[in-house]
Amino acid sequence: MFYAIGMIFGPGIGGLLAELGAYINASFILPFEVLVKPERNTEKTSILTICKNFDFSINLLITINGCILIGFNDATLDLHLKTIQHLSPSVEGAIFVVQGAFYAMFNPYWASLVDKVASKHSLCIAGCVFSMLNYIIAGPLPFIPINPNLWLVIIGQICLGIAFGGILVGSFTHGFQEIIKKGYPENVSTYAVISASFSSAFALGSAIGPAIGGYLMGQLGYRWATLPMVALEFLFISVLITGSSSGIGAATAVQFSRAGANVVVTGRRADKVSEVAK
């Protein structure tokens, strides 16, 4: 939530400072931010140990993916807007505010929804779909016969803000759930290690996104640069759908295997399976 607040106010304040005194005002103000050093407590749970868990690591990759999306957007959208029409820095900042505002508005919705769904990854899938929609229409993609349009960019920012909440909430909740299922203690040590892991994933994705965005923007231009992002989201959607289907199938197999065990041991006929299952 506090990240969303920063996403809302940061671009707007930056745009106003740029208008009032060029870039130097923001450079003077940023060093006065206060950084709080988190306490570490990893006496009982090792970060390397939980990262070896495949299911947990998948959720870290999902978080990295989400932050790559935001980092790519932050590095490239401003240049893309300049090719559409001339906008003042404050208006450009306001367009970035749209993303943060919708992230803040929908994050509580994702948080309330995560306890109501069987697979937490369904939120991640929805987030990837929304983010893919953003990169399809924001350019739009070069083979779509539509000229770049400011309103398409704004709609895309709305989609991206909604998407980011689903990706983060779904991946963090599923990752936490997997660690607890593996038998790790529900204590401060485990919570701290999980939080540190996702914070590192967040930082890594935030570093990769702008680097990829800047390179692709320079080599291909915005409309072609968004194509790899669409492909990345399609890949994650495919993997998550396959994984979710496997998980549901595994759970169903366990239930039937329990019922089937009684059939094998007692020698009951197949027509009694339904009675055993009950």
Counted domains in the chain: 1
46 in any annotated domain: no
pLDDT band at 231 (very low <50, low <70, confident <90, very high): very high
User: Which of 110-124, 205-219, 239-253, 259-273 shows the highest mean pLDDT?
Assistant: 205-219
152 in any annotated domain: yes
267 in any annotated domain: no
Mean pLDDT of 109-129: 91
144 in any annotated domain: yes
pLDDT band at 74 (very low <50, low <70, confident <90, very high): very high
243 in any annotated domain: yes
276 in any annotated domain: no
Identify the CA nearest to 69 among candidates 139, 148, 167, 150.
167
Mean pLDDT of 187-208: 90
* CA–CA dist 233, 160 (Å, integer): 12
* CA–CA dist 139, 215 (Å, integer): 17
255 in any annotated domain: no
Residue 168 has a pLDDT of 94
Residues spanned by the domain of 72: 2-37+53-250
- State yes or no: pLDDT of 236 exceeds 60: yes
Output 12 or 259, whichever has higher pLDDT: 12
274 in any annotated domain: no
pTM given for the model: 0.73
Residue 221 has a pLDDT of 93
Residue 247 has a pLDDT of 53
Q: Which of 151-155, 211-215, 251-255 has the lowest mean pLDDT?
A: 251-255
- CATH assignment at residue 95: 1.20.1250.20
- State yes or no: pLDDT of 262 exceeds 80: no
